[in-house]
Structure 1
Amino acid sequence: MAFSDSFLQELKYRADMATVAQRYVNLRKSGRGYVGLCPFHNEKTPSFYVFEDTQSFYCFGCGAGGDVITFIRQIENLDYVDAVKFLAAQCGLEVPEEAADDSTARLRKRILEMNRAAARFFYACLKSPEGAPGRRYFKKRQLLPSTITSFGLGYAPAKWDALKNHLKSLGYTEKEMQAASLIVVRDGHSYDKFRDRVMFPIIDLQGNVIAFGGRVLGDGEPKYLNSSDTPVFKKSRGLYALNFAKSNADGTLILCEGYMDVIALHQAGFKNAVATLGTALTPEQSRLMSRYAKEVIVSYDSDAAGQKAAQRAIGLLTSAGLNVRVLHIEGGKDPDEFIKTHGADKFKMLLKKSGSHIDYQIQKAKSKYDLNIPEQKIEFIKEAEEILSTVESAVQREVYAGKLAQELDITKDTFLAEINRFAARKKARERKTEIRNELADLRGLKDRINPQKGRYLKAANAEETLIVLLYKNPDFQKDIDKIIKPEDFLTEFNRRVYSAQRDIILSGGQPDLSLMGAMFTPEETGRITKMLVMRPVSNTIEEARDCANVILEEKMLRANENADALEIFNELKHKKLEQKKYRREK
């Protein structure tokens, strides 16, 4: 979809970069812009910057960057067109009709409409005579009719084509159904993905049905089946029931393992409960929670698998800047069972008593050792030192160390010194890794965006400098065109950037990330932003000419090397042929 320059400029004028970013990130004023913790990767020291003068953002930690459209693309998991529409709707700006026809946007719209129709179909089936198995299951789980309605729960009939035929009658094609992960196509035949399952619609923050989870009724496998990733759904980036919980969080979210735990908690009055979507917790989901809460209470099953998952979740949640507490449930395997057995008031007391993640990890470590045996006591102390070394606050670290030292009958100062030494060694290792990565970046090694940079480092640096110079000084373009052409660039990525920028300039436009955004992925736009933010230029035509000449010289050098290599290859080939001829004659 092509948006006009005037429309995109008006959109950027209305959608101020800092204002939009502050809806998702806590920003503070810093120099010519704002700084905060990056929403795209886990960090403890702010490296996410918003620049007011260029209406752009850049993270010096993970390399995410771009304009306000790129920001919305990444944070809301939208494609370019839908990000523009999302921003336009927020700003009260009407999208021009001539820009409304786009195949990707049309498919997304069709899938969302189809998912809503499927959710209504499953709900209707639950209420029908053939939905009796689903009704029995929900009754057994003690769900109220109001809860079933609120969550839009349903039932997928035990037929191979019930949903497929229903959607066909509404005008949807099998190709669209497959794209929505509602049918499976195998060996030329298609059938419903969800059969004889109670259904859980997954709803995004805009109220769209984006996917489904289904629990089998009976002994079938898998027990839970979820939609695959689609153009409207990425299971690693969403949370079940966040559409309800975000308005009831009050600074705290309860993280559960499954859909039924969440529904049971909401029915019991704990409307700040969420769950992952059939996967282990991801960094993206952790950062998503940090938008709506400062604290997360991990409420996983008390079995071994649940405790292992809780341990992993703690690391991700704390990395996202969240305070973490861990719920210890007695008398029930999961929150749903506990509430059924002991009631909501007892569960509320459990929530209040839930300890910090540090307490949880210390107790978990302690359970592995007999502290009356000196060797095991020493091993526990080492593990406790490692755990406490992760505590950022020096005061908190001292409090935990003092409490544990007294319990272990060792001196607090010695224990604390060992913890601090452990933390220092850990930081030294992390810094060494950072330096290694920085050096690799400077040399263009392992560059996913521009993989040719390491091979043509000198040329690539000149290409990037020239791109920045012409972005800031588009009046240089005609002069530079007399020296160099886009095909003279040695690295493909920089050639694409230069060509896109050059086309804008020669058509009379001003280079802008918004005008180039549709041509590049968010990751590529981040790299372009990095060039603009981090590459210093003198803004002189002489520097631009020098860069162009360096690129040409490097191109000629590579051409000569290739010619020499070809000559050597041909010479060796000739010698081998002569040797073969000699052996035959002999």
Structure 2
Amino acid sequence: MIPDSFLEELKQRCDIESLISSYVLLKRAGRNLKGLCPFHSEKTPSFVVYPESQSFYCFGCGAGGDAISFIMRAENLEYIEAVKFLAEKAGLPMPENTAEDRTGKRRMRILEMNREAARFFHQCLVKGEDRRGLEYLANRGMDKKMIIRFGLGYAPDSWNALRDHLQQKGYSWEEMLDAALVIKGRNGSVYDTFRGRVIFPIIDLRGNVIGFGGRVLSSDKGPKYLNSSDTLAYKKSRNLFAMNFAKNAADKRLILCEGYMDTVSMHQAGFDNAVATLGTALTPEQARLIAHYTDEVILAYDSDEAGQKATRRAAALFDEIGVKVRVLKIEGAKDPDEFIKKYGATRFKLLLDGSSSAAEYAIARLRERHDLTTDEGKVRFLGELANLIAGLPNPVERDIYISRWAGELGVSAEAFRQQVQSQWRKKRTAEQKKQQTADLRPASQEVEINRKDPQRARNMSAALAEDKLIAALLKNNDFYGFIRERIGPEDFVTDSNRTIFAELCRRLEENRPVSLTAFSEVLDEALMTRLSWLIADNDSLRFDREQVEDYIRRILSSRMKKSSEEVSQMSPDKLDDYIKKIAENKRG
């Protein structure tokens, strides 16, 4: 583990107000600061920075934590990478011989192994006896320049070609398993993960080979695409193929494709702002990574139903974080790669520049679902269209769509405008109510937390008492002895609070720091967010011993009630065991 002293020094040097101010425009709000959340799209500031506790919390999306948590989200980094990022920023040398240091060395070993594997695959492609990989790429119109640019390779159709090569380079089977380059067989031996496939190295923003994608050459050889499993060096949900090139493209828009071949084909045609997800649907982390580099993205997914479903999902994700979306409509081809091969780069450029806005795309999809040759179909379509138009923020854009569709369907523009205005007023009223409850956000956040945590919802009184007890102990560590004489983590009813309280007690017992930064090393993202909410929710409160005693009483009362219910449902044998266990505990 990273020493507490180092984390505390890092916290002192990386003031959270200064750190977050370089990403978010913050305004003073009493003792704290507020701004628009960088992790989701909002018009009313709900992102709060708490200088006293060196924490942040967004009452809109629930993101929260300390400086390390913020950098993990903002810079798309793992925990240890975020610590290193802040340490470099603060001019603080990283400690050595810690578990994290050893993990870091394992990660570096994986990156070195991946680079060696990439060299091996590339040599097999361009100089190997098996020419099938090169023939496949040639048939797909791939030129030598792109093969070199992307470091494309070929995995021989062999069970142990890469394994034996890496072994000769000094890597053990265990290290190869760590890198997901081999798979363990039933007999304890290992064999190559990628066999008989064209290889696409996945390179991160720092130029490291972090994983691989493999495209099969024949349909009877397993799944069409095979991707590296997550490792210490690679999280597919947090990275994008070709982002290392696209981030420096002259065209500051990004084109999001469905696969590796589409992306490479676009780069070959001159569109070096194309990227692709890594064998999964677009994730919130990938959307935030894109938002870090652009405010406009063009979705260039396949034209089949699966591609259209992915388009709708991606558009919704980008809308949440305020990224402008345009949608490429591909006609005469199933995907961008095929379109470029058929019609050329110039036609594809025209297609990109003429891509639909997210609203136009949604309207086109809406139109497909209704029969506009009937009055009933028109009425239903216009009802749904009015709701869609009412959600557009620009009044001029709303007016254009009202006039266009009223004219196209032969209805009164004024009547349709009134229908849109009615929907707009409903949305505005809902937004105003949301703003009016800004001071009650902790309560509304509590409702959201309960929705996600049924255990908490079932034990509301005890859960709230647990919240307050943890907050009181965080605010005043002097309560520790008084609290521990009366209650322990095992008495807590909710799992999340029990874990947080146990770690808090352990640290106080060992006389160790209890700052958020100290907790960030041992609590996962969900628990860190929970702890940040507890701090935010109780920021202005002061606790006395009488209140603390009341919280303890409520928790124990709920625990006893829960135990009574459990006892009443026990079989005679289990009840005997339970009584014996209580007797043993009393003797002990």
TM-score normalised according to structure 2 size: 0.84
The SS at the match of 2:282 is coil
Per the alignment, residue 351 of structure 2 pairs with 350
Is 1:529 matched up with 2:532?
A: yes
Q: How many residues align?
A: 565
Cα offset for 1:443?
10
Cα offset for 1:308?
3.9
Is 1:171 matched up with 2:170?
A: yes
Whole-angstrom CA distance in 1 between matches of 2:205 and 2:474: 37
CA displacement 1:124-162 (0-9 Å, x = unmatched) = 211213352222223333333332222111111111111
Whole-angstrom CA distance in 2 between matches of 1:103 and 1:253: 37
Cα offset for 1:253?
0.9
Whole-angstrom CA distance in 2 between matches of 1:565 and 1:308: 50
Per the alignment, residue 33 of structure 2 pairs with 33
The question of whether the paired residues in 2 share the 8 Å contact of 1:126 and 1:154 is answered with yes
Cα offset for 1:528?
0.9
Whole-angstrom CA distance in 2 between matches of 1:516 and 1:370: 58
Per the alignment, residue 129 of structure 1 pairs with 128
Structure 1 alignment gaps of length 5 or more: 575-586
Whole-angstrom CA distance in 2 between matches of 1:174 and 1:499: 38
Is 1:191 matched up with 2:191?
A: yes
1:213–1:169 Cα change, 3 Å: same
Cα offset for 1:207?
2.2
Whole-angstrom CA distance in 2 between matches of 1:318 and 1:302: 21
1:337–1:497 Cα change, 3 Å: closer
The SS at the match of 1:158 is coil
CA displacement 1:257-314 (0-9 Å, x = unmatched) = 2212212222332221111112222333223212211111122234444344333332
The SS at the match of 2:200 is strand
Whole-angstrom CA distance in 1 between matches of 2:259 and 2:560: 61
Cα offset for 1:227?
1.8
Cα offset for 1:562?
5.7
1:22–1:171 Cα change, 3 Å: farther
Per the alignment, residue 412 of structure 1 pairs with 413
1:44-443 to structure 2, matched below 5 A, reads 46-75=45-74, 78-99=77-98, 104-188=103-187, 190-220=190-220, 221-248=222-249, 251-366=252-367, 371-422=372-423, 441=446
The question of whether the paired residues in 1 share the 8 Å contact of 2:24 and 2:38 is answered with no
The question of whether the paired residues in 1 share the 8 Å contact of 2:76 and 2:285 is answered with no
Whole-angstrom CA distance in 2 between matches of 1:187 and 1:269: 47
Cα offset for 1:74?
4.5
Whole-angstrom CA distance in 2 between matches of 1:563 and 1:259: 55
The question of whether the paired residues in 2 share the 8 Å contact of 1:257 and 1:299 is answered with yes
Is 1:565 matched up with 2:568?
A: yes
Whole-angstrom CA distance in 2 between matches of 1:128 and 1:383: 59
The SS at the match of 1:392 is coil
1:320–1:29 Cα change, 3 Å: same
Whole-angstrom CA distance in 1 between matches of 2:231 and 2:339: 36
The root-mean-square deviation of aligned C-alpha atoms, in Å, is 3.6
Match of 1:498 among 497, 501, 513: 501
Whole-angstrom CA distance in 2 between matches of 1:514 and 1:359: 46
Whole-angstrom CA distance in 2 between matches of 1:438 and 1:538: 18
Whole-angstrom CA distance in 2 between matches of 1:225 and 1:358: 35
The question of whether the paired residues in 2 share the 8 Å contact of 1:67 and 1:514 is answered with yes
Is 1:477 matched up with 2:449?
A: no
The SS at the match of 1:236 is helix
The question of whether the paired residues in 2 share the 8 Å contact of 1:44 and 1:319 is answered with no
The SS at the match of 1:152 is coil
Whole-angstrom CA distance in 1 between matches of 2:463 and 2:377: 57
CA displacement 1:224-260 (0-9 Å, x = unmatched) = 2222333333323322111211222654111122212
Whole-angstrom CA distance in 1 between matches of 2:21 and 2:332: 43
Structure 2 alignment gaps of length 5 or more: 577-588
Shifted more, 106-115 versus 207-216: the winner is 106-115
Instruction: Give the partner amino acid of 2:228.
Output: S
Identity of aligned residues (%): 45
The question of whether the paired residues in 1 share the 8 Å contact of 2:263 and 2:276 is answered with yes
